[in-house]
Amino acid sequence: MNRINKIIDEELTMFKRGIVATPQDRAALDSFAKANQGSSDIILTQMAVQFGYNEALKRIKRLINDENNIQRRLTL
């Protein structure tokens, strides 16, 4: 489990060093989309992809570290 957590943490850290900023939350992504008025669609698309990947990694990390979730899935 520690190795998986380390890999996820490394991936999450990469978002802090990218050329395109990864929005911290959905509100920040929506704010950028509204402010750019379609002039930076490529950047907006990349931000959205990174945001989704970031959120997915965080969810996976929460699920694998949740003892109750692991036990429940093992009994299915």
Tens-digit pLDDT profile for residues 5-45 = 899 999 888 877 777 878 888 898 888 888 888 677 888 88
Task: Check residue 22 and give its pLDDT.
Answer: 85
| Distance in angstroms (rounded) separating the CA atoms of residues 43 and 2 | 34
Task: Check residue 73 and give its pLDDT.
Answer: 67
Q: At what angle do helices 2-14 and 41-65 cross, to 10 degrees?
A: 160
Judge if pTM exceeds 0.75.
no
Residue 57 has pLDDT above 90, yes or no: yes
Tokens standing for residue 12: 């999450």
Q: Which residue has the higher pLDDT, 55 or 71?
A: 55
pLDDT bin (cut points 50, 70, 90) of residue 56 is very high
| Distance in angstroms (rounded) separating the CA atoms of residues 33 and 47 | 10
